[in-house]
Structures are given as C-alpha cells and as structure tokens.
Amino acid sequence: MNEELKKIHHNLAVECFNSTWNLLDRKDRTRDDDLKMIHCAHCSRFHWGEIGTPLEFQRGEWQISRVYSVLDLGESALHHAQYCHDLCTENGISDFDMAFAFEAMARAHHVLGNTEERDRFIELGKSASQNIKDPENRDYFLGELNSILS
C-alpha cells in the first residue's frame, strides 16, 4: 500500500473515531444519529484494520462495543467486547486497554442482564485498574467502570 493511501486510511480512521465519540456524548441523539454512530464506529475500525496495529484494532472493537451497549444491543456489544478482550490477551496489551476490555465485557453483560458475569468482569476491571500507571487514566477508568451500575 502506498503512503498516500495509508494517510487516507489514517485520517478517516481518526475522523470516524472522533465522530463516534461526539455522537456518544450527545444527549439528544436521534434514531438517525444512532445509526450514523454505528456506521462511524465500524468505519473507523475498518480503516484501522487496513493500516493499524493490534492496539488500534482493540480500541476500535472497544468503541464498537460501547456503541452497541449504549444502544441496548447486548449481543453485538458482547461480540465486540470479547474480540477486544481477545486482542489484548493475544497481543500482550495491558494497562489502560486491558482494564477497558474488562469494562466492555461488564457493560455488555449488564445490557444482557447477565448480572453474575457483569459482576465478575467489574471485579476483573477493578483488579486491572491497579496496573494503570497514570493516576488520571486510572480515575477515568474507575469512573467509567462505576457508571455501569449507575
């Protein structure tokens, strides 16, 4: 792949990732916004898949899982959360990202009403948070983890 095409993939991956975040943060999303959010998250992951590393793949899968969790589409959320977790495990990705893989699993199980699995992954997330080196990242993560039950 030539450098120009790599740059295009990179720019689109970043733009779609950020657009997904903007939509996730909106309080007044419409049905069309929800669909756009799904497409943007998948689009970002596709473009990272063309030029990225397992870290970007993992983060893309996490974002897709979050989108589906927010939309109460538990099976899809769990599918992408599991892939996110597998990418961490298979590639030695730890710290912040492994903790968020546990958060994604917990959130997906919460949406599905699987309280035992949700609680197990919340505990795994809390344990993994001890490995997050940056205190600000740790606090952010714990806030996100705690939001599952609020």
Give the chain's mean pLDDT.
97
The answer to the question of residue 94 being in a domain is yes
pLDDT in tens, 37-47: 999 999 999 99
pTM here is 0.96
105 with 81: CB under 8 angstroms? Answer: yes
The answer to the question of residue 129 being in a domain is yes
Separation CA 138–CA 44 (nearest Å):
25
Separation CA 144–CA 146 (nearest Å):
5
Q: Which domain holds residue 108?
A: 77-150
The answer to the question of residue 60 being in a domain is no
pLDDT at 150 over 90: no
In the chain, % of residues over pLDDT 90: 98
Question: In which band, very low, low, confident or very high, does the pLDDT at 122 lie, cut at 50, 70 and 90?
Answer: very high
The answer to the question of residue 18 being in a domain is no
Q: Is 134 helix (H, G, I), strand (E, B) or coil?
A: coil
The answer to the question of residue 17 being in a domain is no
Sign of the dihedral defined by the CA atoms of residues 110, 119, 102, 100, in that order:
positive
Number of domains in the chain: 1
- Among residues 112, 117, 64, 114, the alpha carbon closest in space to that of 87 is found at 64
Separation CA 143–CA 26 (nearest Å):
19
- Among residues 12, 11, 14, 35, the alpha carbon closest in space to that of 23 is found at 35
pLDDT in tens, 72-82: 999 999 999 99
Separation CA 43–CA 19 (nearest Å):
11
The answer to the question of residue 11 being in a domain is no
pLDDT at 141 over 90: yes
143 with 104: CB under 8 angstroms? Answer: no
Residue 15: other Cβ atoms inside 10 A? 14
The answer to the question of residue 124 being in a domain is yes
Amino acid 138: pLDDT: 97
The answer to the question of residue 119 being in a domain is yes
pLDDT at 1 over 90: no
pLDDT at 4 over 90: yes
